[in-house]
Amino acid sequence: MKQWPSGRTSAHLIRLLAVVILCTTASTLQADLRTQAIREAAEFVVKKFSKEAAGETVESLTGKITALATRHGDEAIEAVRRVGPRAIRWADEAGEHGTAAVRLMARMGDDAVWVARDPKRLSLFAKWGDDAAEAMIKHKDIADDVIAAGGKSAARALRAVDGRNARRLAMMAEGGELAGIGRTPQLMGVIQRFGNRGMDFIWRNKGVLVGAAVVSAFVANPEPYIDGTLKLADAVADRAAGPLAERAVDRANWTLLFGAAGAIGIGWIAIRTGALRRVFSKRA
């Protein structure tokens, strides 16, 4: 005789079936919305970028955007909407950095083209993120080598300064002055924090900052130097005075030691001399 599931088991099976149906429905709905978004993007691009999209139909462009979104995620839809059909070509040409290119174009539109079209810049963006992209877009060719040498901290410093100070920073990097000063990440942090004021100060004092003790004092507490409350010359003087003071203390210690030893010696001689005199006096 066939046995029917118990009431508790039946309720469990019904809930499980409901979850499966709900998930399937949600997945289908999401797919439908994605398809609709892609088609709407294709229609928008055909109208807005009519010259670039010449020869494309809504159907053909829908297929290309779908393929791009499958490879690089749904940000591809926004990238094509903002940049046009060129976004598809540049994402393909970016190779391993295609997803990074798509993300940047989706977020920054035409401004991203400066980075997305160049393999070196795209590689810097993929490695160092939005800070690098924004610095390269802001300062164009000036930024590339500075970021390549200084990484994320250099990118953040470049974002904080104007064109003149970006050129100064590039000159210091190219001329080896940054390497000569050392403590580059900390210097970049000062520029990021104080912007043009910080870079102006570093540029004017790049010769003095070469001293290890001076740059250490500066990056540890830059604001008083930038504001003029303290002078780097004071840090130089303190550095010079340090060893002199140590040597003076050493000399003072040795002088004290020899003085004490001499006093002990003289006292001992005096005692011995007095004792001998008493002995001879008794014999006489």
**pLDDT average per 10 residues of sequence, the chain (284 residues):** 58 63 55 86 93 90 96 95 94 93 95 93 95 96 94 96 97 92 94 97 94 92 94 68 45 48 52 49 48
Residue 48 in any domain: the answer is: yes
Q: Which amino acid is residue 281, in one-letter code?
A: S
pLDDT tens column, 90-145: 999 999 999 999 999 999 999 999 999 999 999 999 999 999 999 999 999 999 99
Residue 193 in any domain: the answer is: no
Q: What does the pLDDT read at residue 273? A: 54
Residue 142 in any domain: the answer is: no
CB neighbourhood size of 2 (10 A): 3
Residue 78 in any domain: the answer is: yes
Residue 85 in any domain: the answer is: yes
Residue 108 in any domain: the answer is: yes
Residue 90 in any domain: the answer is: yes
Q: Could you give the number of structural domains in the chain?
A: 1
Q: What does the pLDDT read at residue 85? A: 94
pLDDT tens column, 34-52: 899 999 999 999 999 988 8
| Positive/negative CA dihedral, 101, 105, 111, 117 | positive
Domain that holds residue 100: 38-117
Residue 236 in any domain: the answer is: no
Rounded to an integer, what distance in angstroms lies between the CA atom of residue 118 and that of residue 125? Answer: 11
